[in-house]
Structure formats: C-alpha cells, structure tokens
C-alpha cells in the first residue's frame, strides 16, 4: 500500500528575482515497508525532495500525498502532529540537546505528542534498547561518541512509533565502522517493517537499500529496485 505519492513536484526558490529550480516535475510512489535510497550530487534536489516528503517544506506546484491525504488538506497544526507522530527524522548533525541525558533526548518528541506522560519512560527505554544503547541511558549526550550520538538520534526518531523514517546523510559524520553499525540498525528496522527513505551520496551506504533512486538537476535519472 502506498505511503507516499508524489506527482509532478516542482520546487522553485526565488532570491533577488533569480529563480532556482530545485525540483523539476518529480513523480514517485513509496510503499509501506520499502527501503529507498535517494542519491545524487550536491544540488541535485534530493534533500529538497526529502523535506517535502517529510512535511518540512511545501512544493511550488504538483501534488503530494502522505498516507492517502494530500498536503493541501492538512492544516498547520495537523502537519505538526503528523510530523511528530508519524514521521521520524535522522540528520547528519545528530541534533541532540547537549546538556541532557540519552533518555531525555529520546523522550523529547513525546513532550509534543498526545501520549500520556506515564508512558514516556517505557517508550524511550524500548527505543534505546532497539539501538543497543541501554547501558548509556543515563549518560550525558555530549559524552557519547559520534556513532552513539547517531544511535540516540535513531532512537528518538523511533520513540513515537512512526510510519516512516527519513534519514538525511545519517553516516556523513561517522567513521566507517560507526557508519556500518548505524546502517545495520536501520536495515534491521526495515526488516521489522519500518519504511525507510535514506539520502546519501555514498554508494556503499545506498547498497543497504532495496531501491535506489538517482537524481540530477532536480530530476529523477534512474529508479531501480533490486
């Protein structure tokens, strides 16, 4: 069943009367449970596409549907709710709060959800266990290695039990071994049924996905399912 449906997406940025076309009539569908990698050089439009699919930005024209509903039908409050509860994000820069523990970082999305506070600790502990960091639960996030920080970010993305995880260059700041560890976790989440959309410029990272989309100049060049 389709989770993401994009039709003729176009995104144009205007700066001092100069138009830059970031997406040029991009169409694609992503089914529940898929593991998709989107590749392309800098400026190819891959991050812009991810931001639109993750409801962080809106297209200039075209139609985008998430979970069977057009983005045009969502109010701002509903978009925020969907982003928080149905979508998980993992970014290259980790985006952890430095003066808080692993547990507190992972609980953060729950503060803005309808999930009762009595469930927060159990939910967070389950997510932390899923990424193999139970022994670090009460450590300060600033004392963790890069690989551990990214695993905390994945746990935080998981805590709301989202439909899909969008990962934007999740191994970009990591050494080879840490990157492999993070990708093994992401691969395992997909095996458990989680939809994964991964942005990367690294061929060896893209190989974890079952479908690889190559972009260039705001367009999809190839879309290959293994």
Tell me, what's the pLDDT at 93? Answer: 85
Tell me, what's the pLDDT at 16? Answer: 84
Tens of pLDDT, residues 4-20: 999 999 999 998 889 99
Q: How many CB atoms lie within 10 A of CB 160?
A: 20
Q: Which of 94-98, 144-148, 155-159 has the lowest mean pLDDT?
A: 94-98
pLDDT > 90 fraction of the chain, expressed in percent and rounded: 79
Tell me, what's the pLDDT at 209? Answer: 97
Tell me, what's the pLDDT at 8? Answer: 97
Tell me, what's the pLDDT at 64? Answer: 97
Q: How many CB atoms lie within 10 A of CB 166?
A: 24
pTM of the model: 0.92
Over residues 144-151, mean pLDDT: 91
DSSP annotation string for 136-195: GTTSBGGGS-HHHHHHHHHHHHHTT--SEEEEESTTTTS-HHHHHHHHHHHHHHHHTT-E
Tell me, what's the pLDDT at 113? Answer: 86
Tell me, what's the pLDDT at 1? Answer: 86
Over residues 147-176, mean pLDDT: 92
Residue 98: pLDDT above 90? no
Q: CA dihedral defined by 83, 171, 2, 74, rounded to 10 degrees? A: 20
Tell me, what's the pLDDT at 15? Answer: 87
Three-class secondary structure of residue 211 per DSSP: strand
Q: How many CB atoms lie within 10 A of CB 201?
A: 15
């Amino acid at each position: 069943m389709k989770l993401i449906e994009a039709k003729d997406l176009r995104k144009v940025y205007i700066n001092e009367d100069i138009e830059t076309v970031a997406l040029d009539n991009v169409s694609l569908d992503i089914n529940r449970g898929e593991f998709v990698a989107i590749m392309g050089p800098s400026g190819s439009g891959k991050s812009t596409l991810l931001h639109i699919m993750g409801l962080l930005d809106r297209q200039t024209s075209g139609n985008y549907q998430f979970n069977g509903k057009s983005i045009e039908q969502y109010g701002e409050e509903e978009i925020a709710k969907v982003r928080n509860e149905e979508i998980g994000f993992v970014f290259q820069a980790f985006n952890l709060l430095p003066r808080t523990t692993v547990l507190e970082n992972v609980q953060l999305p729950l503060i803005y959800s309808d999930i009762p506070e009595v469930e927060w600790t159990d939910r967070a502990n389950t997510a932390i266990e899923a990424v193999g960091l139970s022994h670090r639960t009460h450590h300060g996030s600033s004392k963790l290695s890069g690989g551990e920080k990214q695993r905390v970010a994945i746990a935080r993305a998981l805590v709301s039990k989202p439909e899909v995880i969008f990962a934007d260059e999740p191994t970009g700041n990591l050494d080879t071994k840490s990157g492999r560890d993070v990708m093994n976790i992401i691969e395992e989440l997909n095996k458990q049924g989680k939809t994964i959309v991964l942005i990367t410029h690294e061929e060896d990272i893209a190989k974890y996905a079952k479908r690889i989309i190559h972009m260039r100049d705001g367009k999809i060049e190839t879309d290959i399912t293994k």
